[in-house]
């Protein structure tokens, strides 16, 4: 029999329903695998006791016929989802010891459907980063290494613990969040599938906020089918989040028909960015051919404001972050550093509790929102953001979905880009535009670089048209036949 940890979510679901193995057995195989993978530093906290009790409850549901698709599926949960009585710190020291007294809507939806929590996974502090190197809990190591190299690589970020856990088969799937690419880029770096839904599709309630007009939860999985199954469970209308949208959650798995004949796929010329390696251009061309072969019509389009997306993002996101992170003051939860006065306490607590990147963004955000600069920076950025959204709206008059690379490179080495914030920001060049426009996007593993590292292709869809994104993603996946797995270098003791 295949090792249980090698099964996809859909296969695990089918095996559980058929009674080939129990949820407890499946969970046990993951708990064992997690113990041998600690050097990846993907998990911040393991919750085996909770996992087994949830698995037993799942087995009861499987017996009495009340099981759902996610029943008995062991998951890794990104540390910024509030999970009752369990470590939820957004990988920041300032939330030291925080154990929420409530459950986020997304995780509650998953538990209601019978999923199993294996633990909380690492991430960039407050989701601010593209390499998982800003975590208070240390960097995550990518399970992948370049061929013939021992160099440790980053798993992408901010959902780096999530992507590494799925790639290393120490979780069937994982929750992630995406503000400017934090689901899609780590998925591309680890040969996994990452789906950022439309803004408003998943409730943000109980997700520790970074930039509220951009943050959106989504799944990181092994296959497109898995992403469809998991999104259906995560998504809901939630009165507790005023930006969650009241529209029915479709059966996403049913959208995977494989039939994209006549569908119009847009190829934006602005995504041929300078300095993008040949590997990336090549895989993009290959993706275009695959979709043509499947009967789609390829249309050249223009998204003229693409180059302004990143500067827009680096005003809007820090501005919202500086406001959201004002709540960490040493009074209500987490770290407190006492000083001579109350004001001192605030300033000392925040100095010690936040890491360098988070501080930098709070300072930038505070500056662009401060009196005299608001119009020049923040208001200007929000206007350009309208133009970026308009570019997409114009494109969707001609096409049904847009195909681009996910990231401008394959996974890079630990420490390679951490000294230059701007260079790190450029990682999100292809993912940020869809974030600013609130559109759904998926990254699908499409092939390997010359160095043997995974490369992803991104599909961006119309608002609330995750079905088309998934359908075309499924076709790309079948054409790519991406079956490579990282050579297991961890746990060999």
Which residues carry out catalysis?
A: 78, 158, 182
CB of 366 to another protein, least distance (A): 4
CB of 207 to another protein, least distance (A): 16
Closest approach of another protein to the CB of residue 379, in Å: 6
Whether the ω angle into residue 158 lies within 30 degrees of 0, i.e. cis, is yes
CB of 363 to another protein, least distance (A): 5
Comparing CB distances to another protein, the nearer of 4 and 214 is 214
Write out the chain in H/E/C secondary structure: CCCHHHCCHHHHHHHHHHCCCCHHHHHHHHHHHHHCCHHHCCEEEECHHHHHHHHHHHHHHHHHCCCCCCCCCEEEEECCECECCECCCCCCHHHCCCCCCCCCHHHHHHHHCCCEEEEEECCCHHHCCCCCCCCCCCCCCCCCCCCCCCCCECCCCCCHHHHHHHHCCCCCEEEEEECCCCCHHHHHHHCCEEEECCCCCCCCCCECCCCCCCCEEEEEECCHHHHHHHHHHHCCCCCCCCCCCCCCCCCHHHHCCCCCCCCEEEEEHHHCCCCCCHHHHHHHHHHHHHHHHCCCEEEEECCCCHHHHHHHHHHHHHHHHHHHHHHCCCCCCCCCCCCCCHHHHHHHHHHHHCCHHHHHHHHHHHHHHCCCCCHHHHHHHHHHHHHHHHHHHHHCCCCCEEEEECCCCCCCECCCCCCCHHHHHHHHCCCHHHHHCCCCEEEEEEEECCCCCEEEEEEEECCCCHHHHHHHHHHHHHHHCCCCCCCCCCCCC
Q: Shortest approach of another protein to residue 275 CB, angstroms? A: 16
Nearer to another protein (CB atom), residue 145 or residue 350: 350
The residue among 64 and 343 lying less far from another protein, judged by its C-beta, is 343
Minimum distance from residue 199 beta carbon to another protein (Å): 5
Pick 380 or 485: Cβ nearer another protein = 380
Which is nearer to another protein, 335 or 469 (by Cβ)? 335
CB of 437 to another protein, least distance (A): 7
Provide the minimum distance between the beta carbon of 307 and another protein in the complex, in angstroms, as a whole number.
8
Q: How far is the CB of 110 from another protein (least distance, A)?
A: 22
Q: Which two tokens stand for residue 245?
A: 């949208």
- Taking the least distance from each CB to another protein, the nearer of 302 and 382 is 382
Return the number of the residue (36 or 243) whose C-beta is nearest another protein.
243
For another protein, give the closer residue by CB, 327 or 488: 327
According to DSSP, the residues that pair with 457 across neighbouring strands are: 405, 444
Residues with Cβ within 8 Å of 439's Cβ and at least 6 positions away in sequence, in order, are 198, 199, 392, 460, 461, 462, 463
Nearer residue to another protein within complex by CB, 60 or 387:
387
Give which of 261, 335, 291 is closest to 473, Cα–Cα.
Answer: 291
CA distance 73 to 117: 8
Residue in the structure block whose two tokens are 């940020």: 432
> Under the phi-then-psi rule, with left for phi > 0, alpha for psi from -120 to 50, and beta for the rest, what region is 232?
alpha
């Amino acid at each position: 029999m295949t090792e249980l940890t090698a099964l996809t979510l859909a296969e695990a679901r089918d095996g559980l329903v058929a009674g080939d193995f129990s949820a407890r057995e499946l969970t046990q195989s993951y708990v064992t695998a997690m113990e041998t993978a600690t050097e990846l530093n993907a998990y911040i906290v393991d919750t085996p006791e909770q996992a087994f009790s949830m698995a037993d409850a799942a087995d009861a549901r499987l017996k009495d016929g009340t099981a759902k698709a996610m029943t008995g599926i062991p998951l890794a949960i990104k540390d910024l989802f509030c999970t009752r009585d369990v470590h939820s710190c957004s990988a920041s020291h300032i939330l030291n010891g925080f154990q929420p007294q409530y459950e986020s809507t997304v995780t509650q939806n998953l538990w209601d459907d019978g999923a199993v929590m294996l633990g909380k996974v690492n991430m960039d502090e407050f989701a601010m980063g593209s390499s998982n190197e800003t975590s208070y809990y240390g960097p995550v190591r990518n399970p992948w290494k370049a061929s013939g190299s021992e160099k440790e690589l980053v798993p992408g970020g901010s959902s780096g613990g999530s992507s590494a856990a799925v790639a290393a088969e120490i979780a069937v799937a994982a929750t992630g969040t995406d503000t400017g690419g934090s689901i899609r880029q780590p998925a591309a770096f680890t040969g996994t599938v990452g789906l950022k839904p439309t803004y408003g599709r998943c409730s943000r309630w109980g997700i520790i906020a970074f930039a509220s007009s951009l943050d959106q939860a989504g799944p990181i999985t092994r296959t497109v089918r898995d992403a469809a199954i998991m999104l259906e469970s995560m998504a809901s209308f939630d009165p507790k989040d005023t930006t969650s949208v009241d529209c029915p959650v479709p059966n996403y798995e049913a959208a995977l028909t494989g039939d994209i004949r006549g569908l119009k796929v847009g190829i934006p010329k602005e995504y041929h960015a300078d300095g993008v390696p040949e590997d990336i251009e090549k895989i993009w061309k290959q993706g275009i051919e695959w979709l043509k072969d499947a009967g789609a019509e390829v249309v050249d389009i223009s998204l003229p404001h693409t180059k302004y997306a990143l500067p827009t993002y680096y005003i809007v996101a820090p501005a919202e972050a500086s406001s959201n992170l004002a709540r960490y003051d040493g009074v209500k939860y987490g770290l407190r550093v006492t000083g001579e006065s109350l004001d001192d306490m605030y300033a000392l607590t925040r100095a010690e509790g936040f890491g360098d990147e988070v501080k930098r963004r709070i300072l930038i955000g505070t500056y662009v929102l401060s009196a005299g600069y608001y119009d020049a920076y923040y208001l200007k950025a929000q206007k350009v953001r309208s133009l970026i959204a308009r570019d997409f709206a114009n494109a969707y008059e001609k096409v049904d979905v847009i195909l681009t690379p996910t990231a401008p490179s394959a996974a890079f080495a630990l420490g390679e880009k951490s000294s230059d914030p701007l260079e790190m920001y450029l990682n999100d060049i292809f993912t940020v535009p869809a974030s600013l426009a609130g559109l759904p996007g998926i990254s699908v593993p499409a092939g390997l670089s010359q160095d043997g590292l995974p490369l992803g292709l991104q599909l961006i869809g119309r608002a609330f048209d995750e079905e088309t994104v998934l359908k075309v993603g499924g076709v790309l996946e079948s054409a790519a036949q991406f079956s490579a797995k990282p050579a297991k270098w961890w746990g060999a003791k």
